Structure 1
């Protein structure tokens, strides 16, 4: 597996909204999961869909894995395959911290204090099988799942959560996925 500093720097885009495209109506108030149980949220998530962004350009088979650190922060390991499911693997490691109910901030470049991006959990299935994540700026948003594929019902539910939070789901990109061997 290749660990690329460049991939980590691309995640800096989370904190640089000036040229980022906006996918949501920012006049719509965002709502987050108020009773997020962080311990249940930890583990491996597959990226089912996302709004296009610079730092994931060309990425397929994307996963995010979260773990609890001794200091109470959350480790974040994002993995992507370049262009095809058999493509070169890129990985970025970061840290997240809880900012409020269902609200986290993430950094992949901890030595830059301004390089934190909002990561708000907007919706979560009761069994923690599907999550919807976004940011107030509206330049990022994801549908995540514990499995590489989701049902039509889960997809409709996730899109409705995004729409309720002002997102234009017509701009979502569904991502080819691959099962990760354990």
Structure 2
């Protein structure tokens, strides 16, 4: 019985470690400055996943926690019910605080990777990749981001292995209408 208990604990530990890894072809940005990153971001586009399905006008707001971590508030409007949905999480650096590689948790002790793969020099737009290429977001400070900047971030994602047609777009960016929409 003790072996089964330890095997289960080991499995959970391995799953947690695996969820914070950096996917192939993703290089977290260096020279990262957390104070410049804090504040509100608008979701430009995301890959489809159940925990954000049908959400519109999605924002992510980052602030400091008393324990030195980052408070994460994700908020959006459910397209079907019109109700606001919100999730609160916490994030911590995995290694060096000047590298855009964090682990984030919305569910107790379970963390997932939050890898900043591309960040505009002025911190106006970011490409975030999760623990695998199945999780990705393009965020902008503005709810009306510049089309050329959007194109640059979609192209960066394509180089990593995320095709343009994979995205669900929430903000127009003046790009062609062949993208998926969440509604």
Shared fold (TM-score, shorter chain, > 0.5): yes
What is the Cα-based RMSD across aligned positions, in Å? 2.0
Tell me by how many angstroms 1:46 deviates: 0.3
CA-to-partner distance for each residue in 1:17-45, whole Å, 9 max, x for gaps? xxxxxxxxx6x421111111011000000
Q: Whose radius of gyration is greater, 1 or 2?
A: 2
How does 1:11-90 map onto structure 2 within 5 Å?
28-83=24-79, 87-90=82-85
Task: Provide TM-score, normalisation by structure 2.
Answer: 0.76
Counterpart CA distance in 2 for 1:137 and 1:105 is 13
Counterpart CA distance in 1 for 2:65 and 2:128 is 21
- Tell me the equivalent position of 2:132: 137
- Tell me the equivalent position of 2:90: 95
Tell me by how many angstroms 1:70 deviates: 2.0
Instruction: Work out the number of aligned pairs and report it.
Output: 149
CA-to-partner distance for each residue in 1:145-177, whole Å, 9 max, x for gaps? 001121111111111221222222221011159
- Tell me the equivalent position of 2:181: none
Q: Is the 8 A contact 1:30 1:136 kept in 2?
A: no
Q: Is the 8 A contact 2:88 2:106 kept in 1?
A: yes
Tell me by how many angstroms 1:109 deviates: 1.6
Counterpart CA distance in 2 for 1:37 and 1:61 is 26
Residue 154 of structure 2 aligns to a residue whose secondary structure is helix
Task: Provide TM-score, normalisation by structure 1.
Answer: 0.76
Bigger relative contact order (CA 8 A; separation at least 6)? 1
How does 1:100-111 map onto structure 2 within 5 Å?
100=95, 101-110=99-108
- Tell me the equivalent position of 1:151: 146
